[in-house]
Amino acid sequence: MAVGIEPAKQLLPVPGIKLGVCKAGIRVANRQDLVVMELAEGCQTAAVFTQNKFCAAPVTIAKRHLAHQAPRYLLINTGNANAGTGEQGIRDTLRCCEAIAALTNAEISQILPFSTGVIGEPLPVSKIVQGLPAAIQDLDEAHWNTAASGIMTTDTIPKGISKLVTVQGVPITITGISKGAGMIRPNMATMLAYVGTDAPLSPAVLQQLLERVVERSFNRITVDSDTSTNDAALLIASHRADLAPLEDLSDPAWQDFITAVQDLFLFLAQAIVRDAEGASKFVEVKVENAATVNDALEVAYTVAHSPLVKTALFASDPNWGRILAAVGRARVERLNVDNIAIWLNDVAIVSQGGRDENYQEAAGQAEMDKDELVIRIDLGQGDVSESVWTSDLSHDYVRINAEYRT
């Protein structure tokens, strides 16, 4: 079950963005698995994609189309990743784009395709094409919640959030949804995330803002250290708010908006970790006083990815030696272990490179028994701090992934 998070409450519509959902039977009968998003004329879209070299066919086509012109429709299917499918996967993706273009009078290059699900299987094009009319018929600005359910795979809850901010007296809406529970260690984003706002932002600023907030959110989460072939995150600006476009991210009048976008992306990223496959704990690994950002992240990810640390977390076992060992094998030059201190929440377990003289096992156990935990590591080398959010490794994670195709 998800840790410390509930299914998305009623999400706010974003003027200029409509969403439609249907049950196409792509992999599982009688579940919402096909989503269409319609972007009104004038919408601008920024995106980041997976860095996995085996990127899926829809990623290849989405990049190509986005470079050509502003998209009018997004097509998202679950149940099948259309990855590792070669030229046939490209042809299948284009056939789906052609089908939605024919139904909407859009150009094929105005369609951005996205897929998530099983890798290596042919895309069931006929099911998607047959489901498109129903998804298009369902288009409505108020359908963010059903879309959040429609993009799920092994997720247990739909993930979404809305925020309202005011810029120069004008109210602005920001709404976003994400999906992902396994195969999560993004190098740019997460499995799938879509955020829309009615704020007017220039295309260059839109891309800059997306990359900035992704770096501090989706690029700081990991469930299992695996990067998907299909990752994508989008930020869409519909320009419906009555304001002059934002041209500079340093503009003081827009700082509340920028902060709200950052907070929204962080919520969506952390929601993925909270709903990680089989997760029973939500864990922040916070590295302080590192010499560089790379050093801080190297230590944080080494701890977060350690199977021994993650299984100890699942068992609520304060086996602090596993954390110490993970820090020690991180690829950080000139690491002085005598300077290192480690805490479980506020309980000091290591100081000056060894067991803290005041540490009591009962105190560590009390912290490990909690659903949410901060592992704080002080390297004593500089003034850089970074956090990574992760989960434990449970029996259910193994079962879910062992049975994924059955």
- Computed on alpha carbons and rounded to an integer, the radius of gyration of the chain in Å comes to 22
Contacts of 232 (CB under 8 A, 6+ apart): 47, 48, 49, 50, 59, 62, 114, 189, 192, 193
Closest CA to 179 of 305, 38, 84, 77: 77
Q: Which of the following is catalytic: 190, 197, 227, 302?
A: 190
Asked if 214 and 32 count as a contact pair (C-beta separation under 8 A), the reply is no
Check if 222 is active-site: no
**The two structure tokens encoding residue 291:** 């010499």
236: three-class secondary structure by DSSP:
strand
Q: What is the residue whose two structure tokens read 């990991």?
A: 222
Asked if 364 and 347 count as a contact pair (C-beta separation under 8 A), the reply is yes
Residue 8 C-beta-side C-alpha neighbours within 13 Å = 29
Q: What is the residue whose two structure tokens read 């299992």?
A: 224
Q: What is the DSSP string of 243-289?
A: SPPB--TT-GGGHHHHHHHHHHHHHHHHHHHHT-TT---EEEEEEEE
Q: What CA–CA distance (Å, rounded) separates 71 from 108?
A: 9
Q: What CA–CA distance (Å, rounded) separates 211 from 233?
A: 10
Closest CA to 267 of 338, 326, 190: 190
Longest Cα–Cα distance in the chain:
72
| Positive or negative torsion for Cα 25, 31, 33, 35 | positive
Contacts of 2 (CB under 8 A, 6+ apart): 156, 157, 271, 274, 275, 279
Asked if 130 and 23 count as a contact pair (C-beta separation under 8 A), the reply is no
Q: In what order do the strands lie in the sheet with 232-237?
A: 44-49, 232-237, 192-197, 170-179, 159-167
Active-site residue set: 190
